[in-house]
Structures are given as C-alpha cells and as structure tokens.
Amino acid sequence: MHSLQCVLQVQRSLRWGPMASVSWLSLRMCMAHSSLSSTTCPNPERQEDGARKDFSSRLATGPTLQYFLRSASAPQEKLSSEVEDPPPYLMMDELLGRQRKVYLETYGCQMNVNDTEIAWSILQKSGYLRTSNLQEADVILLVTCSIREKAEQTIWNRLHQLKALKTRRLRSRVPLRIGILGCMAERLKEEILNREKMVDVLAGPDAYRDLPRLLAVAESGQQAANVLLSLDETYADVMPVQTSPSATSAFVSIMRGCDNMCTYCIVPFTRGRERSRPVASILEEVRKLSEQGLKEVTLLGQNVNSFRDSSEVQFNSAVSTNLSRGFTANCKTKQGGLRFAHLLDQVSRVDPEMRIRFTSPHPKDFPDEVLQLIHERDNVCKQIHLPAQSGSSRVLEAMRRGYSREAYVELVHHIRESIPGVSLSSDFIAGFCGETEEDHVQTVSLLREVQYNMGFLFAYSMRQKTRAYHRLKDDVPEEVKLRRLEELITVFREEATKANQTAVGCTQLVLVEGLSKRSAADLCGRNDGNLKVIFPDAEMEDVSNPGLRVRAQPGDYVLVQITSAGSQTLKGHVLCRTTLKDSSAYC
Ligand code: 5AD
Ligand code: SF4
C-alpha cells in the first residue's frame, strides 16, 4: 500500500494558475509506509494497541478514490441541523473527543482568532474539552499565519519546543497529538509533515469541519491532512464560541478569501477564493451576541467591503458594482447580490447600543452609500482602515493595487468630507520589489499628508507562489528595508500624535473593557476611533439613573474628558456612565 492512501487533485478554476486552482486533500498513513513507520510512529504503545490495529485495518479497507472525488466535488452546503454520516471507515464513536483536552494557540490576524473559535466550536460539539494549560493537553493545535516569513519562523520555533514536550510524553506513554491549522498548513501542505514528523494533523482554513475525523485518524498513530480549499465554505452555521466570559466585543466573520491578487500577498493562495456568508446567518449571529450582552461587533473578512451575498436568487440582477472614484478592480467585477452597504445597514439595526466596526476593507470598495451610512448611523464607528501599502504610484502599480497615489488621496479627502471626524488607519509595506529612495520618500510624504490615527507597518517579505515571487525581484537589501521601515514608524508616530492631540479637551464616548494593564487604579476602554483610552477608576453619575453613583464595569459606556494624547493612547477622566444613544448629544 502507498503512503498516500488518497491524493486528490480537482481542477476547479484555471484563472489563478496551478496552485490556487487545485483542491488538494490527502490522508497520510505513516504506519502503512515502511520508511515512515519507524520515524513518524516511534511510539510502541501505539503498535501494541489491538483496538487501534483494528482501526488501521478498517482504514486500509476504507474509502476509495471515488469516495473522495464525490466528497470534493459536492457543494459543501450543510445545515447545522443536518446530521452528517461518519466516513465509512470510522465508527461514530471514534469521531468523538471523549473528553480529551485541547489546547489552542493562535498566531496572526483577527481572522485567525475567529477561526480558532470556529475550530473550537466544532471540537466542542464533538466531545472535546478545552484547556488553557499546555501541560495537561492531549491535543495541541496551532492556528497559523503565513503572511510574512517571520510569522512562519515563530511557528517553526514553537514546534521545536513542542517536540520536547511530545518526546517526554512518549516516554511516559501519555500520547500527545499536535496539529497545524490555517494558512501555514495550506501553504506548506505535506512539507510540514515531512519536516516535522511530530505533527499529526494538518487542516487548511476551509477544513475545520473535518477536524474530528482528522484527530480520530491521528489517534490511531497516523498523520492526517485536509487542505482542500472550498469555493463556498463560510462556516455560516458554526456559531463561534466566545472564550472570555467578560468580553465586551466579538468578531463576526462575514466573508472569507480574497480575489484581489495583490502581487506581494499570499492570502489568495492560503485562504482561497472570495465568498460571502449569507446575510441572514450573519444577522442571526449578531442578534445572539446582542442577547448575550456584547456591546461591540467587528465584521471580519479579508476584504469586507467587497461583500456580496448571492445566495438569494432574487437579488442577483445585473446591478453594476460601484467602486470608489478613480479605482479599478484587478479581478473581473461580479454583479448582483446583496452588497456591503445593505449588510452594514441591517447589522447596525439589530441593537442601537451595539457598536459596529469592520476590518479589513480594500480602498476600491467605498461607494458613497457606504460612506453615507457610516456618517448617519450612531452605532457604526467613524473609523476606517484604508490600507495604502505605498505612497508611490509606481510601486502601487507593481503591487497591482488598482489605484494611484492621487486617487487614494482624493478618496481620503472624500471620506473626510463625507464623515467629519473620521479616524483613519492604514497598512504600509517598506522595501517592496524595485522600491527606490524616491518611492520611499513618497510613502513618507503620504504619511505626513494623511496623518493617520493608527498604522500597521511592515518590511516586505517575499512569499513563494505570489506574482511578485514569479515576476519581480526582491532587490531592496534587508538593512535598507529595515531602515525605511524605521523611518516610516517614526513619521507615523509623529503624525499620529498630532492627529490624536486634536482630541485633547474633547469629551469622548468610551466602551469600558476592564482594568488597565499598567495600573489597577485605572480603567481602559476604546473610543469610537478604536484608540485605547485610559482613565482613573472613579465613582461617577449614571445618566439613566440620576442621583445614583456607580463605578464603571466592562461593557459600560462612559463619557471621558480627554486630557492628553500619544501616538497610541489617550488619557482622561471619567464624567458619567451613559448609553450610546444618549451620548450622541455630547459628541
Ligand atoms: N510582506 C510584508 N507585508 C505584507 N502584507 C501582506 N503581504 C505582505 C508581505 N509579503 C501586509 C499588507 C497587508 C497586511 C495585512 O500585511 O500591508 O495589508
Ligand atoms: Fe492580500 Fe491584497 Fe487580498 Fe489584502 S486585498 S488579502 S493585501 S491580496
């Protein structure tokens, strides 16, 4: 028998070239392969276990290639109420967690935080318990990020630490399973299994529903992988489990994947094609969060404002897509469906006391109806992330961002006119392929011109498979990239401090999160622009109950008079407890 019991390749679309067009799934059986069996399954306890031997023989006579072909081509639209049949080679019982303890560790962006909650929701339903103590875990799952080389290096380093833990466990005959989830699993596929023999499970971003099966296979001492990318998986019916009981805010995934194909970016290859979650299921989740008392929801996706729910046929008319003025799309523009403005409108109506944010958008998708809605609705935060990436039109073209510096600056002006007081943030990459000193100076000048309130700045990291990897030269020396990055950070901080200082003397509405990390005498919360606000924990009046003196609790809205501002934090003193609706009179 071959070590790959089943390797499946399904050609779904040719537009993205071989990597993104191939859906790939493999079940790896190290026990069945002579060269792997000694190195990857050194645990004698496994081989002696009769029940597991029986399990392995059932796996060996398991599903055929046709079975996987059928599963891969079938649309992955399952309702939560549908009971899934177990794969024919596994007993229902073997798919259950049997109270084994899972330790989940998250790396990377908010999308990964949300994915962790989705993965946990699926495992919890399957009978696993969660632990925050690494030492008592039966299963360790790392939810990984591939966006830059450094992010992946952190995970390789972590795997080396976990290797020691797993070896100790092997000696004490208490098995420990290790899984790599998310982008790194998708990008490196079986390279991870080959490089790190102690990894038992690989699950790509669209394969979390398969985790109980993958872990069941791993329980028998075999490596298991599913890195199949889907065209329609949005986990619409999986309610993520909020882990912190005192949390005031939650992330709600509204779409997955990205079709933009910026030349530097690995995301379209690790997270696949853009697809939106049906509006109805998003609203249901937001309603539940509101009932749980949460006060803030951030709509999440790689490209949130490209949202397009085409699941309801009556909205699929040929309504043309409005882009921001002066912007072009890198991919064929789709038509019809329910767009982001509709979703934002509906979500903001669920609970007027619930703040609504969204991230991460693309500058191309800000038609006037979205800006108007942000301006009009009290509970939609006046905060827009507008990733520029560079201030040089030449570099923007090489990045295939679909806009020039001039179009971007015009959009900034238009946004500021449409939403007075809006808070702006951005992402920038220093040292992209072919970036000259002159290009860099242009980026510095854009930072000065726009004066962002928040910024996320990175040194360019070449990623295999991207268009830049194939067509451009990573020709800016590392030390130059780092020097330019330092310069961008310095300028960003100076400008953000200036921008944030305009708040000094103002009264701002703050959603309280809890104690400040620096001092137990202070509380910490966030203003409408998502900036951290620190203020002394003092008694105050409650606007809804005149005469009542209260101390602010997490989830309360308070009015804070701002007394000082830095590049990342505001400080002030609290005036009163209020509600979002009442506060609009003060701002
Ligand atoms: N190198 C450096 N930064 C990158 N980003 C995306 N890909 C790369 C890369 N290869 C940055 C972009 C993006 C943010 C999420 O990460 O600025 O907006
Ligand atoms: Fe990457 Fe560009 Fe898509 Fe953002 S819009 S995820 S930078 S390809």
List, as one string, the DSSP characters of 504-519.
Answer: TT-EEEEEEEEE-SS-
Q: What is the pLDDT of residue 318?
A: 54
Quick one: DSSP state of residue 130? E
pLDDT exceeds 90 at position 142: yes
Residue from 110, 145, 147, 150 whose mutation best tests the ligand 1 pocket (most atoms within 8 A of CB): 147
Compute the average pLDDT of residues 16-28. 28
What's the chain's average pLDDT?
Answer: 85
Weakest mean pLDDT among 53-67, 125-139, 308-322, 465-479: 53-67
- The predicted model gives 86-107 an average pLDDT of 78
pLDDT at 360 over 80: yes
Cα–ligand 1 centroid distance for 531 (angstroms): 22
Q: Is the CB of 116 under 6 A from ligand 2?
A: no
pTM (global) more than 0.75: yes
Q: Given the CA of residue 265, which atom of ligand 1 is nearest to it?
A: 7
> Which ligand neighbours the alpha carbon of 330 most closely?
2
pLDDT of 284 above 50: yes
Q: Work out whether the CA dihedral 31, 34, 38, 40 comes out positive or negative.
A: negative
> CB of 458 closer than 6 A to ligand 1?
yes
- Tokens representing 279 are 């509006």
- pLDDT over 90 (residue 359): yes
> Does an H or E element contain 415, and which?
helix 405-418
**434 phi and psi, to 5 degrees?**
80, 5
Q: Quick check: CB of 267 below 6 Å from ligand 2? A: yes
**Residue 61 corresponds to which amino acid?**
T
Question: Which mutation among 265, 305, 469 tests ligand 2's pocket best, with the greatest number of atoms within 8 A of CB?
Answer: 265
pLDDT of res. 85: 55
pLDDT at 134 > cutoff 90: yes
Cβ of 516 closer than 6 Å to ligand 2, yes or no, is: no
Distance CA 320, CA 343 (A): 17
Hey, what long-range contacts does 344-347 have (CB within 8 A, 24 or more apart)? 344/299, 344/370, 344/373, 344/374, 344/377, 344/380, 345/373, 345/377, 346/279, 346/283, 347/282, 347/283, 347/286, 347/297, 347/299
Rounded mean pLDDT, 485-505: 97
Return the pLDDT at 582: 86
The H or E element spanning position 19 is helix 17-21
> So what's the pLDDT on residue 92?
65
pLDDT bucket at 399, cuts 50 / 70 / 90: very high
pLDDT confidence of residue 498: 97
Position with higher pLDDT, 99 vs 268: 268
Mean pLDDT of 50-74: 44
Summarised one tens digit per residue, pLDDT across range 210-244 is: 999 999 999 988 999 999 999 999 999 998 877 66
Most informative mutation of 267, 359, 385, 456 for ligand 2 (most atoms within 8 A of CB): 267
Which residues of 440-531 form beta strands (DSSP E)? 454-459, 507-515, 522-526
Euclidean distance between CA atoms 474 and 476, whole angstroms: 6
Percent of the chain with pLDDT over 90: 72
Q: Give pLDDT, residue 315.
A: 58
Q: Is 4's pLDDT higher than 60?
A: no
> What is residue 112's predicted lDDT score, i.e. its pLDDT?
96
Range 160-186 average pLDDT:
92
Burial of residue 549, with CB atoms counted within 10 A of its CB: 0-12 exposed, 13-18 middle, 19 or more buried: exposed
Residue 80's pLDDT band (boundaries 50, 70, 90)?
very low
Q: What is the pLDDT of residue 73?
A: 36
Residue 324 has what pLDDT?
Answer: 80
